[in-house]
């Protein structure tokens, strides 16, 4: 755990609950510029050479690519437009960049006029890992709890103390169960999920629990079992017969 300094420990820091969006955007721009200077976006978006000028990357027109994928204009270039981003814009751009970041591995130094490295070999896996770590470090300072997942999606971050529930491995190899639970958790945590989306995610989890009820019985007392399924009912979830639930799991 990182150290808390005086005003945070004392509770007098004006940003005790986190930074506003505009300040986090400022952090993000500096993070993006550092990664770009280090070559993490050269493979995708190209770079500038003192001799050759603009050297294109695999994405010849990033602004066009954003329009085709995000369906928005006015987001590129990041370091110029970020101060105008809404929260939705910010998270769209994070997810977009995650798809194109790659760590430079090997290349040749162009020493003329201190041009710098011309990278030729890249690792997308290592680049995405570094990008995710840095973005999440910035998001920890945001007043709202979000994180970038290993799948490249911005998700609601679990409340403190609940992380083990979301990170735990399911004790099942049944693809019907693991895929349904994974999809429900993703729906619940996804940025922009509505109350109805979250209710449906809970319903889906209750369906899985109902399907597993025979196994659950052997692990719980009658009172615990009753309480557990009462929780599901309190979310407006109706119990289903196991064969019907199994059919739903297999859809």
Higher pLDDT, 200 or 92: 92
Pairing of strands 103-110, 53-55: unpaired
DSSP per-residue string spanning 64-98: HHHHHHT--SS--SHHHHGGG--HHHHHHHHHHHH
Higher pLDDT, 15 or 103: 103
Q: Domain range holding 167?
A: 163-249
Structure tokens at 36: 């770009």
In a domain, 4, yes or no: no
Q: Which helix (H) or strand (E) holds 28?
A: helix 21-37
CB 103 within 8 Å of CB 126: yes
| Separation between Cα atoms, residue 241 and residue 211, nearest integer Å | 8
Average pLDDT, the chain: 84
Domain count within the chain: 2
**Which of 144, 175, 198 represents a domain boundary (last residue)?**
144
pLDDT digits (tens, 9 = 90+) for 146-188: 999 999 999 988 666 555 666 667 767 777 777 877 777 777 7
In a domain, 192, yes or no: yes
So what's the pLDDT on residue 239? 47
Say if residue 171 is in the same domain as residue 230: yes
Q: Strand, helix or coil at 190?
A: strand
Say if residue 39 is in the same domain as residue 135: yes
- Region of 20 (left: φ > 0; alpha: ψ -120 to 50; beta: rest) is beta
Cis omega (within 30 of 0) on the bond before 132? no
pLDDT digits (tens, 9 = 90+) for 240-249: 444 454 455 5
In a domain, 42, yes or no: yes
Q: What percent of the chain has pLDDT over 70?
A: 79
**Burial class for 103, CB neighbours closer than 10 Å (0-12, 13-18, 19+):** buried
In a domain, 138, yes or no: yes
Say if residue 140 is in the same domain as residue 43: yes
Say if residue 168 is in the same domain as residue 81: no
For the cut 90, the answer to whether the pLDDT of residue 210 exceeds it is no
């Amino acid at each position: 755990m990182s150290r808390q300094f005086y005003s945070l420990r004392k509770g007098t820091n004006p940003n005790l609950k986190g930074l506003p969006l505009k300040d986090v955007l400022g952090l993000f721009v500096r993070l993006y510029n550092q990664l770009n200077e280090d070559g993490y976006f050269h493979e995708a978006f190209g770079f500038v050479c003192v001799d050759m000028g603009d050297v294109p990357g695999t994405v010849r027109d990033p602004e066009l690519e954003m329009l085709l994928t995000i369906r928005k204009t006015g987001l590129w270039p990041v370091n110029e437009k970020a101060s105008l981003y809404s929260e939705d814009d910010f998270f769209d751009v994070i997810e977009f960049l995650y798809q194109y970041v790659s760590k430079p591995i090997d290349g040749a130094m162009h020493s003329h006029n201190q041009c710098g490295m011309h990278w030729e070999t890249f690792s997308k896996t290592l680049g995405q890992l570094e990008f995710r770590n840095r973005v999440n470090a910035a998001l920890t300072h945001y007043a709202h709890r979000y994180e970038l997942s290993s799948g490249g999606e911005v998700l609601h971050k679990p409340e403190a103390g609940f992380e083990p529930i979301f990170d735990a491995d399911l004790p099942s190899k049944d693809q019907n169960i693991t895929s349904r639970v994974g999809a429900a958790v993703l729906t619940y945590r996804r940025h922009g999920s509505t109350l109805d989306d979250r209710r449906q995610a809970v319903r889906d989890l209750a369906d899985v629990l109902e399907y597993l009820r025979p196994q659950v019985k052997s692990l719980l007392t009658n009172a615990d079992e009753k309480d557990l399924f009462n929780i599901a009912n309190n979310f407006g979830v109706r119990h289903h017969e196991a064969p019907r639930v199994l059919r739903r799991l297999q859809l």
